[in-house]
């Protein structure tokens, strides 16, 4: 079990971003953090992953094996996708999981620098690294962002399948639909449990080339082909 124990955070002399977060993440559970832009989700995830030190409080019981998918890759990442995956696989002493790349539908050039890949293809490489290398703690910051419809569905499957403890943020609505997930909304620096997502499933019959247009309609959070 991972315990977030009285975590407070402010950057420099700025306002308090996190105001005493207390929560536990059961081993193998999925915890979703929703909330408006700038409310502090990424800050909490970085602290949970051990990348940022909180102003006050601590995260206890963090497994030695942590895999963190940031919201954005550094703009200047000149490493090719192939070299990036090889680097992490070597570090973890595990083979590169090209099967995950295929499953996510990676359609870019593995020898192109990560910084030149499309947002979605770079995200697929990041997800392959994340899911291919850890069974301890997965910290995923908006992992559904930028993915096409099919890959979004695959990602939901990967989150459900993994034995790791998962902490994830999301703006697409996909995470709130994960079976068995504990969902919180961050408001004023604290986590409030979300009992119901308020989302409604609607079945639409359309041609396959119209799926992306349906996905782009106002209020549509996610689209699944059936
Ligand atoms: N390195 C930093 N230095 C100063 N302020 C920061 C830093 N990182 C984040 N902040 C501030 O902390 C607040 C919370 O930011 P954070 O990125 O955690 O929000 P978020 O909920 O993840 O937002 P979004 O949904 O837009 O990704 C914001 O006001 C942001 O400007």
φ, ψ of residue 78 to 5 degrees: the values are: -80, -15
pLDDT at residue number 72: 78
Q: Report the separation in Å between the CA atom of 205 and the middle of ligand 1, taken as the mean of its atom positions.
A: 40
Atom of ligand 1 at shortest range from CA of 12 = 4
Q: Is residue 222 in some structural domain? A: no
pLDDT at residue number 197: 53
Looking at the 3D structure of the chain, how many domains does it have?
A: 1
Neighbours of 46 (CB within 10 A): 19
Q: Is residue 45 in some structural domain? A: yes
Computed over every residue of the chain, the mean pLDDT equals: 89
pLDDT at residue number 52: 96
Q: What is the pLDDT of residues 119-148, one digit of tens each?
A: 899 999 999 988 886 678 999 999 999 899
- Look up the domain containing 91 and give its range: 2-199
Closest CA to 72 of 167, 174, 145: 145
Q: Is residue 71 in some structural domain? A: yes
Q: Which CATH number covers residue 62?
A: 3.40.50.300
CA 109 to chain centre: 23
Sort residue 173 into left (φ over 0), alpha (ψ -120 to 50) or beta: left
CB 224 less than 6 A from any atom of ligand 1: no
Q: What is the gyration radius of the CA atoms in the chain, in angstroms? A: 18
């Amino acid at each position: 079990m991972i315990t977030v124990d009285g975590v407070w955070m402010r950057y420099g002399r700025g306002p308090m971003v996190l105001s005493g977060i207390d929560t536990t993440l059961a081993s193998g559970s999925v915890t979703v953090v929703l909330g408006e832009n700038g409310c502090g989700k990424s800050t909490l995830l970085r602290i949970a992953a051990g990348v940022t030190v909180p102003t006050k409080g601590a995260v206890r019981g963090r497994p030695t094996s942590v895999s963190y998918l940031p919201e954005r890759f550094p703009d200047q990442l000149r490493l090719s996708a192939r070299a990036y995956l090889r680097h992490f696989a070597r570090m973890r002493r595990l083979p590169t999981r090209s099967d995950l790349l295929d499953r996510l539908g990676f359609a870019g050039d593995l020898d192109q620098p990560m910084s030149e890949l499309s947002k979605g293809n770079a995200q697929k490489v990041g997800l392959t690294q994340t899911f291919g290398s850890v069974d301890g703690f997965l910290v995923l910051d908006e992992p559904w962002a930028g993915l096409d419809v099919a890959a979004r569905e695959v990602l939901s499957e990967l989150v459900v399948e993994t034995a790791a403890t998962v902490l994830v943020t999301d703006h697409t609505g996909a995470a709130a639909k994960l079976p068995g997930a504990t969902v919180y909304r961050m408001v004023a620096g604290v986590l409030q449990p979300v009992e119901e997502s308020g989302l409604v499933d609607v079945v639409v019959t359309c041609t396959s080339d119209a799926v992306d247009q349906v996905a782009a309609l106002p209020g549509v959070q996610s689209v699944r082909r059936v």
